[in-house]
Chains A and B, each alone.
Chain A
Amino acid sequence: MTPMSIDRVIKSIRKERERIWLHRSEDIGTMKKRIGSMKQNFTTVMYADTDTQSMVKYLYNLRETSKMKGVHLGTLKQAAILFLEFDRRRATVYYRLNITAKLLDKFIEALKQVKSIKRYQALIGELLLYIGKINYWIDLEIPWNRLAKAFKKQ
């Protein structure tokens, strides 16, 4: 696969985020069809919610760390790649977040090309906004009120 330029990757992530701003991503439909343990999809959705929430937190912290004086770009890149390759696999195999997984592929290839902290921040920032949106879409699928009531009865 020929890696896309950093700018093209940023643009493609932004375009997808704008597309799903008010319209549910197709990823949510495919995720809900992914059957988890004991023939149910509840845990798929709950774990996808937790995982994407964790992604938001570490992407934010990587972006914050990159603003600190004297940080090493290579280490920041390697940390991001390690985290994201793991979550890309979970997104693909466990959650069927297919569009997201493809964007993560492009993102990781683009990240390898990054040569400045400024570009790193731009790239991480764009992914952070996108994953934040996906996480909020997943959260909207969870019937929190009914779950809380059922749990209280236990």
Chain B
Amino acid sequence: MSKLLINIGKETARADLFEKEAPKTCKLLKKYSPLDGLLNHAKICDHEVFFQAPFFIDEKENPKIPIPGDIGFWNVRQTICIWYDKMEPLGPTNLFARITENLEGFQKDARNTWSKQGTKIRFQVLD
């Protein structure tokens, strides 16, 4: 299973990529790795941060209701969503990874995004 290295602000977290459940998303993520972005914070659903990806994924892959630590792709906005704590998602989203290391550190910097948006984030796929 490939790992995803996530740099957010001064924190580093790791996630497991769901290559079996979301093969197309993981393939595109590998193609664009490292993918840099600036984080916006969700306004309604609570503890979620997101950033834009430069691609579309038109197929439904592993659509599920996220739990804290899950990472998904929302095609309406070509956006990578990271649910970092309690939230109320709109519905099932294509989940392609889950944070398995240092969710606490990620939470700290993600929470700060609410008062200071635009935190830098980098997704790097590790083979």
* Closest partner residue, chain A, to B41 (CB atom): A144
Per-residue interface assignment for chain B, residues 49 to 66, with 1 indicating a CB less than 8 Å from any chain A CB and 0 otherwise = 001101010100000000
Query: Is B77's beta carbon under 8 Å from chain A?
Result: yes
Quick one: which of B52, B79, B117 contacts A144, CB cutoff 8 A?
A: B117
Contact B56 A21, beta carbon cutoff 8 Å: no
Per-residue interface assignment for chain B, residues 97 to 120, with 1 indicating a CB less than 8 Å from any chain A CB and 0 otherwise = 000000000000000001101100
Interface size on B, residues (CB 8 A): 20
Within 8 A of B (CB), among A54-71: 56-57, 60, 67
Within 8 A of B (CB), among A89-133: 125, 128-129, 132-133
Query: Is B93's beta carbon under 8 Å from chain A?
Result: no
| Cα separation A94 to B31 with both chains bound (whole Å) | 39
Quick one: which of A129, A132, A136, A146 contacts B38, CB cutoff 8 A?
A: A136
A139-B40 contact, Cβ under 8 Å, with A17-B54, A129-B54, A145-B115: yes
Quick one: which of B40, B41, B76 contacts A60, CB cutoff 8 A?
A: B76
Query: Is B78's beta carbon under 8 Å from chain A?
Result: yes
Contact B114 A145, beta carbon cutoff 8 Å: yes
A56-B77 contact, Cβ under 8 Å, with A22-B36, A140-B38, A144-B41: yes
Interface size on A, residues (CB 8 A): 19
Q: What are 26 pairs between A and B in contact, CB < 8 Å?
A: A18-B54, A21-B36, A21-B37, A22-B36, A22-B37, A56-B76, A57-B76, A60-B75, A60-B77, A67-B58, A125-B56, A129-B52, A129-B54, A129-B78, A132-B52, A132-B78, A132-B79, A133-B52, A136-B40, A136-B51, A136-B52, A140-B38, A140-B40, A140-B118, A144-B41, A144-B114
B-to-A contact residues, CB < 8 Å: 36-38, 40-41, 43, 51-52, 54, 56, 58, 75-79, 114-115, 117-118
